[in-house]
Amino acid sequence: MKPIRLISGVLTVGFWTLASRVLGVLREVMILALIGPGPVMDAFVAAFRLPNMFRRFFAEGAFNASFVPMFSKRLAADDDPRGFAEQALSGLAFVLLILSALAMIFMPALVWATAGGFVGDERFDLTVNYGRVVFPYIFLISLTALFSGVLNATGRFAVAAAAPVFLNIFVCIAMGWAYLTGGTVILWLVWAVPVAGVAQLALVWVATDRAGLRLRLSRPRWTPAMKRLVIVAIPAALAGGVMQINLLVGQQVASHFDKAVGWLYAADRLYQLPLGVVGIAVGIVLLPDLSRRLGVQDDAGAKAALSRAGEMALALTIPAAVALMVIPLPIATVLFERGATGPDDSAAIAAAVAIYGLGLPAFVLQKVLQPLFFAREDTKTPLKYAVWAMIVNAATAIGLAPYIGWIAPAIATTLAGWVMVWMLASGGRRLGDTARFDARFRRRLWRIGAASAIMGAALWFGMVLLGPFLEIPGFRFLGLLALIALGMGVYALAGQLLGAFSLGDFRRALKRGT
């Protein structure tokens, strides 16, 4: 795969991820308007985080880090990739069935462990009830992740990237229908989650069949291939679990403050928009590409792929981070302030958005640097780094909470993100020249920063000029769109003039066959 083809794959995944994240923001707009910050929203957030936590633990962490490189190498060598994938599918399904059954039985204990501040008030029972409805989503979405990994390894990125869109479509339609018909919005919301999971799994399963890889469930078998998969997957799963512990520590701290769980969740959705579009897309495309290149000793190609992926990721991420830090209040106000959400809620969300924005480049760089280890089937090193990041996160969140309150988890998340990047970069240098960015990347990095700074200044002046329009109902969206368009235009012009990037590279990446 040429670097330009890798960029094309990133843009394909990025497009569908953008669609999913935009719909995700719409989902949060509807939740905040129809339910609003408070006990019900806090309970839903805590319940919905449970299957997502285990999904990242089992599917995105373990299988992206272990299954995808091993499957990619078997595919390149024509070493029975279909049989290997079927064994992995059957084993994963077996583990997930047991996990789901245990979680349904011990849901009160799970809620106590992940949101201890809910104990003794109405949020606890609500979270238990909602959790039992949404938890089966873990089974469906984890199998979806495995099928998506198969599709990504074969270079078919579009369907796998489009699958997450279904969750937000189903959830938005369910809430809209409940509102229009006078139904209970929260009940339609929680039941839409497992229904969406069925649709997502069906989409990628059919796509895999059409790709010529018919995967079917069978009796799980303990083979040498599965033993190797588990050996590689366990550290990756633990590393993914460490990252989820960071989220749980933040939720535990926030659960002791009124409305804080909902505020942090809304802010999380905003910074997840650029993170998903850029960071996750880069990681999904880069991992199988690096695995194939390293498997055939294409060191020069691996270094070029890493450098172009990092270059593109930062060219799109740094300006997004600057925007989140410069204009968080207009974004939060325009998107969320309506219905049950008031000005105080918008101000709180904006404060968290600005802090998460400071950490956004770190969160994206993690997605670029981790494949350096995963492609070599080294999952133990990232686990070690993740443990240190967890310690930093927990110490900061718990230590600062008594002094600065609910905002401590956001600061802790950002600090831990940069610590993780520093360790990944330091460890990557020991892997040799293929794990280092090339001269072109280093030349363009400072230019990207300068263009982003110019854009930030333009956004600040634009916010002052468009301030009145951002406060008028009916004109707020137009004002925000004008502000965003101004920032994009200034960044594109400044970046082109400074040599931070070439718009022609993006145009060529979109052409068929590149």
Total residue count of the chain as it appears in this document: 514
Query: In terms of Cα–Cα distance, which of 201, 206, 225 is closest to 55?
Result: 201
Residue identified by tokens 């003794």 is: 120
Indicate the SS3 state at residue 12: helix
Q: Residue 8, by phi and psi: left (phi above 0), alpha (psi -120 to 50) or beta?
A: alpha
| Separation between Cα atoms, residue 440 and residue 269, nearest integer Å | 33
Token representation of residue 136: 């089966």
Number of other CB atoms surrounding residue 370 within 10 Å: 25
pLDDT of residue 3: 46
Ramachandran region, residue 217 (left: φ > 0; alpha: ψ -120 to 50; beta: rest): beta
Dist. CA 197–CA 201, nearest whole Å: 6
- The alpha carbons of the chain give a radius of gyration, in whole angstroms, of 22
C-alpha distance from residue 287 to each of 80, 236, 465 (Å): 20, 14, 44
Note the pLDDT of residue 52. Answer: 76
pLDDT at 512: 43
pLDDT at 4: 41
Residues near 211 by Cβ (< 8 Å), separated by ≥ 6?
A: 150, 151, 154, 156
pLDDT number for residue 133: 92
> What are the tokens at 131?
């959790």
What end-to-end distance do the CA atoms of the chain give, in Å?
9
Q: What predicted TM-score, i.e. pTM, was given to this entire model?
A: 0.68
DSSP 257-303: STTHHHHHHHHHHHHHHHIIIIIIHHHHHHHHHHHHHHHTT-HHHHH
Q: What does the pLDDT profile of the chain (514 residues) look like in tens digits?
A: 444 455 555 566 666 667 777 787 788 788 878 887 788 888 888 888 888 776 666 555 556 666 776 777 777 666 677 777 777 778 888 888 888 899 889 999 888 887 777 877 888 889 999 999 988 888 888 888 888 877 777 767 667 777 778 888 898 999 999 988 888 888 999 999 999 989 988 888 888 887 777 777 777 777 776 777 677 667 766 665 566 677 777 777 887 787 887 788 788 878 777 776 665 656 556 656 666 666 566 667 777 777 777 887 888 889 999 999 998 988 888 888 776 677 888 888 899 999 999 998 988 888 788 777 877 767 778 878 888 988 998 899 989 988 888 889 889 989 998 999 899 888 877 777 666 787 888 888 899 999 999 999 999 998 888 877 777 776 777 888 888 899 999 998 998 888 887 766 555 544 543 3
pLDDT at 62: 57
Give CA–CA dist 462/39, Å, rounded. Answer: 37
Distance, CA of 115 to CA of 118 (rounded, Å): 6
pLDDT for position 2: 46
* Residue pointed to by tokens 């069935």: 97
